[in-house]
Structure 1
Amino acid sequence: MSALDIENIRKTYGEVETLKGIDISLESGEFLVLLGSSGCGKSTLLNIIAGLAEATSGDVKIGGRSVLGVHPKDRDIAMVFQSYALYPNLTVHRNIGFGLEMRKVPTPERDKAVRDAARLLQIENLFDRKPSQLSGGQRQRVAIGRALVRKPEVFLFDEPLSNLDAKLRMEMRTEIKRLHQMLKTTVVYVTHDQIEAMTLASRIAVMRDGRIEQLGTPEEIYNHPATLYVATFVGAPPMNLLNATVRDGRLAIAGSDASLPLPARFAEAAVNGRDIILGIRPEALRTDGAGPSLEATLEVAELTGPELVVTALAGNQRLMACLPPRTPVRDNETLTLSFDEEAMHLFDPQTGLSCVREG
């Protein structure tokens, strides 16, 4: 039995269709991240799972039981909000245990649950403080603790780290991943941050305009993007996209003299004269001269610490490469940027779909 089934969920506001038929099935213990830009429908979908919004059609099942029309408190879910949603007049101890208190859980049982959750989150020393006396990271730990004590079937997280600074976000990402590995609870997590998605998820649903562009593991999403949108949305810097044309079984790069071999896995795309988009991730480019290569004129070099990010022109098309930090480069020099054939992605410019049929 699946822990969570989302079946053809649609949501319409007037004439605007926000969700256009979402289907996802999660097994117990999976960590699903709904990833996408603002307005893609990810928070609407989370709210429908939580019972905070009603679907126009479709069904949501938790543990095999339909929960449409069921009050949020009876859905066996716990939700962690972006705003923490703590009671300002209650101590940390009471904030964590408040839900259990409302359910008339006996005091000894409630106190044990609160202390167990606080121990996992390392906030036992904060019990007597109120939210105004806590840092952002501490408030988020309290909010997670309040969800933990419920021991729900499904945890829902709505962009829980977006209010934290970069250092705290990294620390809390690690904390959430550690907790998931320990507790093996089913999680649905909404974010627009691809780093959170890649590091936390067992599967990622990349959403766009109310649809799922691709559903897969982080490795599948990153290394085998199904669409141009996924290819450019996941990855920093984003994937380089170069206009090209198939000519005599090779790829002629527009605006340059470069001609690249066409790997066998793209045989179906090898229609002479066909326009195509070539995708290569910046980190796949190197300067060792091995494999297919592109000549590019250096425009800008930026040292980030762990890598040297260069922007260059291949003919009249701009691309980026992430090189080792001590790579010697000079302004306006011509670089030979090589890569492995496995790093090449081809997309249809009309449909935006990958030209590879996996499996």
Structure 2
Amino acid sequence: MSALAIENIHKRYGEVETLKGIDIDLQSGEFLVLLGSSGCGKSTLLNIIAGLAEPTGGDIRIGDHSILGAHPKDRDIAMVFQSYALYPNMSVARNIGFGLEMRKVPLAEREKAVTETAKLLQIENLLERKPSQLSGGQRQRVAIGRALVRKPQVFLFDEPLSNLDAKLRMEMRTELKRLHQMLKTTVVYVTHDQIEAMTLATRIAVMRDGRIEQLGTPEEIYDHPATLYVAGFVGSPPMNVLDATVSGERLQITGEDQAVALPARFRGSVSDGQRVKLGTRPEALRLVAGDEAALQFKARIEVVELTGPELVTTARIGTQRLTACLPPRSALTPGEERLFAVDADALHLFDPENGCRLAEG
């Protein structure tokens, strides 16, 4: 039985359809990330699960019970928002335990739950402070503690780390991962940050225009993107995509007198003269050293950026851009032409008309 079942959910606002048939089965203990750009419908879907909005069609089930029409407090869920939404006049301890207080949980039981939760979040020394005396990271821990203390069936997170600086975001990602591994809780997490999605999720639903473009593990999403949109959205820098044409057993780069071998696994799914989009991850590229049996591209270096652990290099193949992530001490000069190598199994082919990945095998 699914911990959370989202069945053919639609949502309309007048003539505008923001959700266009969402189907997801979430098993107990899974960490699902709804990933997408602003306006794709991910927060709308989260609000429907929470009971803050009702769908136009479809069903939401927790366990074997439909929760549509149920009041948010009766859905056995807890939600953490982008804004901390803490009560400024209450102590940390009372903020964490306020939901239990409203449910008339006995004082001794409530205090025990608050203490255990604070210890889990490593904020037990902050229980007597007010929110104004806390840092952003500490406030977010309190907001998470207020959700944890209830021990619901499903946790909902709506971009909870967006207000934190880069260092705190990284620390809180680690903390959320640790908590999930310890508690084995079921989580639905909304973000536009693909790094958060890749590091936290057991599965990712990449959303676009009210639909799911791809649902899979982080490895599946990254290594086998189902569409050009997913290939470009997940990954930093995003996947390189070059226009090419099938020419026998070669891929001719559009506008250039360059071609690479057509990987054998695609030969049954393309035809001679067919236009394709050729994709490769920047980190799959390397500078040619000596005799290489790998596929090769000749490109003119434009920009070289040292990030510390890698050298992000932007080059041009004719009018098309190629980005490569290289070792930090690579010797490159803007304006020079260099050969880049890539292994055949790191190439992806997409249909330029519908953006879908071409079949392999």
TM-score (norm 2): 0.98
- Cα distance per residue 1:147-191 (max 9 Å; x no partner): 011000000000000000000000000000000000000000000
1:55-204 aligned within 5 A: 55-204=55-204
Q: Secondary structure of 1:219's partner?
A: helix
Q: State whether structure 2 residue 332 is matched by structure 1 residue 329.
A: yes
Of residues 29-38 and 331-340 in structure 1, the stretch that sits farther from structure 2 once superposed is 331-340
Distance 1:220 1:79 in 2: 28
Q: Secondary structure of 2:118's partner?
A: helix
Q: How far does residue 20 in structure 1 lie from its aligned partner after superposition?
A: 0.2
Q: Which residue of 2 aligns with 1:235?
A: 235
Distance 1:258 1:31 in 2: 44
Q: Which residue of the other structure, out of 341, 347, 352, is the alignment partner of 1:349?
A: 352
Distance 1:312 1:304 in 2: 17
- Cα distance per residue 1:44-90 (max 9 Å; x no partner): 00000000000001000001210000011110100000001111111
Q: Is the 8 A contact 2:245 2:252 kept in 1?
A: yes
Q: How far does residue 315 in structure 1 lie from its aligned partner after superposition?
A: 2.3
Q: How far does residue 316 in structure 1 lie from its aligned partner after superposition?
A: 2.4
Q: Which residue of 2 aligns with 1:293?
A: 296
Q: Which residue of 2 aligns with 1:226?
A: 226
Q: Is the 8 A contact 1:50 1:72 kept in 2?
A: yes
Q: Is the 8 A contact 2:269 2:360 kept in 1?
A: no
Unaligned residue ranges in structure 2 (runs of 5+) = none
Q: Is the 8 A contact 1:257 1:315 kept in 2?
A: no
AA aligned opposite 2:264: A
AA aligned opposite 1:94: R
TM-score (norm 1): 0.98
1:29-40 aligned within 5 A: 29-40=29-40
Q: How far does residue 194 in structure 1 lie from its aligned partner after superposition?
A: 0.2
AA aligned opposite 1:164: L
Q: Secondary structure of 1:19's partner?
A: strand
Distance 1:288 1:357 in 2: 27
CA RMSD of aligned residues (A): 0.9
Distance 2:352 2:148 in 1: 46
Q: How far does residue 282 in structure 1 lie from its aligned partner after superposition?
A: 0.6
What is the identity percentage for the equivalent residue pairs of Structure 1 and Structure 2? Answer: 74
Q: Secondary structure of 1:269's partner?
A: coil
Q: How far does residue 270 in structure 1 lie from its aligned partner after superposition?
A: 2.6
Distance 1:331 1:185 in 2: 50
- Cα distance per residue 1:77-130 (max 9 Å; x no partner): 000000011111110000000000000000010000000000000101111111
Q: Secondary structure of 2:267's partner?
A: helix
Q: How far does residue 268 in structure 1 lie from its aligned partner after superposition?
A: 3.2
Q: Which residue of 2 aligns with 1:217?
A: 217
Q: Is the 8 A contact 1:268 1:355 kept in 2?
A: no
Runs of 4+ off more than 2 Å:
none
Q: Which residue of 2 aligns with 1:24?
A: 24
